[in-house]
Structure 1
């Protein structure tokens, strides 16, 4: 049985309880982060901590902790649960003021903070990295502030199920004829030596893995264009891939039934995955 963290306490998972009046439960009034663990160490922890603060600030939500304490909690959960490879999920909600109300509760309402681990042995050696993944396109019907990492994940979950029903691995969301992002990842195409991905704005999540991968790509002398692209452009690209904290860099080999490039993982995605894993392990905490 896992040990989890709830509001300052380490508890067996079956003893961790949250109020039915918690606004995360009633209003999806909360934010979250997922930090990967490789070799027992945290990947990109600082980036996740910074984005967590950004999400809390955007929602005028109180941070119940500080970065050093959060790091200590992450490390303690890794140790207590014997995680070598896996993930740590962190969620902060606006708390449980005592009754349901659309208005925010008073600022002194204690927020709820929850962390738990997920054991994923061998996650860096995913077979899909060698075969590539297939995606379909779906309309992007989410709210307009996708840059805030909130727990409002119903439509991305629906997108995952649409992909599953279509017999593929994931979905890319499309708005005004251009790709925004995947259901839980950032989307990219490659044409020649140029990597194309949507620019950071309110339309996409500002991915922590995205930032690292683009930095490594620039250091490798690859050209980067941050702009929208269409599904048709993606289908005609040499390569496509996604990035996320849990999949790192993952090739996309088919979009809406059309093979991308040679229909197999290409060299750019493979090299970026290799670089990302190598460099991230060097600075893991």
Structure 2
């Protein structure tokens, strides 16, 4: 079946979709994006993603391209048109196409809005969730506004490839001696029953899954500390894990070749993944 994508108001076969070579997303990474998971044909955390999209656009001086209910309708349309049971919907909004200039184009320049789906059968039951992942540490060389979900992802991509070259699955990035986050996820450790994760700020993305997992952890009477933690703390932790919209909760079983805890997924990460997926299925749109 040919995948159907959404481009600027039209639903098109993917091989017929076109974006201008003058688009500022292509020329300047002048764009933001969101990724929403689909489980059982329904959208996970859509309202959170829509709210973060609006914030990211606002930080770059761009408006929402359409009302939230219209955006929801497009997401649902794409799920239906592509028969997505489990998978992802990628959304990207750019400042639009204009002659190349570092200055922004006129405010009435039409934005570019693109959405497409990715089928991911068995998204909620992956080998990584059962076995855990391995990470390596790398310096965080990204720009200073990581709280804006822009498409300028070259360094995270380079870090992911460096991790794979070292035989690991992902990288945790280090700045001023502390872990910021993974290449596409928020990072956590567990020590003496307490979950530790960096607090929100310009240094990390305000993860939608992060917010949901921390809320569910508090409801389950788990203790949480929102503060920076060092690589040494991570190596000495009882458990470690990451969260993201596409991976939910994944245990981290190794950092820089050294086992975390017993080198197997720990009970806190396993429990949080279970309750997050259960709650997400219940509240999905």
1:11 equivalent in alignment to 2:7: no
Counterpart residue number, 1:120: 120
Structure 1 segments of 4 or more deviating over 4 A? none
- Matched-pair contact (CA < 8 Å) for 1:63–1:111: no
**Aligned with 2:189: secondary structure?**
strand
Say whether the 8 Å CA contact 2:89–2:118 is kept in structure 1.
Answer: yes
Which residue number corresponds to residue 270 of structure 1?
270
Q: Equivalent residue for 1:51?
A: 52
* Preserved CA contact (<8 Å) 1:62 1:111: no
State TM-score, norm by structure 1.
Answer: 0.99
Conserved 8 A contact 1:41-1:284: yes
Unaligned runs of 5+ in 2: none
State how 1:142-181 maps to structure 2 within 5 Å: 142-181=142-181
CA–CA separation in structure 1 for the residues paired with 2:277 and 2:257: 30
Q: What per-residue deviation string (whole Å, max 9, x for no partner) do you get for residues 29-82 of structure 1?
A: 000000000000000000000000000000001221111001000000000000
CA offsets, 1:209-249, max 9 Å, x none? 00000000000000100000011100100000000001000
Q: How does 1:63-74 map to 2 (within 5 A)?
A: 63-74=64-75
Give the secondary structure class of the aligned counterpart of 1:124: coil
User: What does residue 206 of structure 2 align with?
Assistant: 206
2:251 counterpart residue number: 251
Q: Give, in whole Å, the separation in 2 of the partners of 1:214 and 1:132.
A: 20
Aligned-residue offset at 1:95: 0.1
8 Å contact kept, 1:62–1:107 = no
Q: Deviations over 1:194-213 (max 9, x none)?
A: 00000000000000000000
Task: Structure 1: state its 5+ residue gaps.
Answer: none
Question: Which position in structure 1 is the counterpart of 2:61?
Answer: 60
C-alpha contact (below 8 Å) 1:37/1:83 kept by paired residues:
yes
- The 8 Å contact of residues 54 and 63 in structure 2, kept in 1 or not, is answered as no
Distance in 2 of aligned mates of 1:284 and 1:130:
23
RMSD: 0.5
Number of residue-to-residue matches in the alignment = 284
Secondary structure, in 3 states, of the residue corresponding to 2:124?
helix
SS state at 2:224 partner: strand
8 Å CA contact retained: 2:253, 2:265: yes
State the partner residue of 2:37.
36
Alpha-carbon offset, residue 193 of structure 1: 1.6
What is the SS of the residue equivalent to 2:109?
coil
Q: Deviations over 1:110-158 (max 9, x none)?
A: 0000000000000100011111100000000000000000000000000
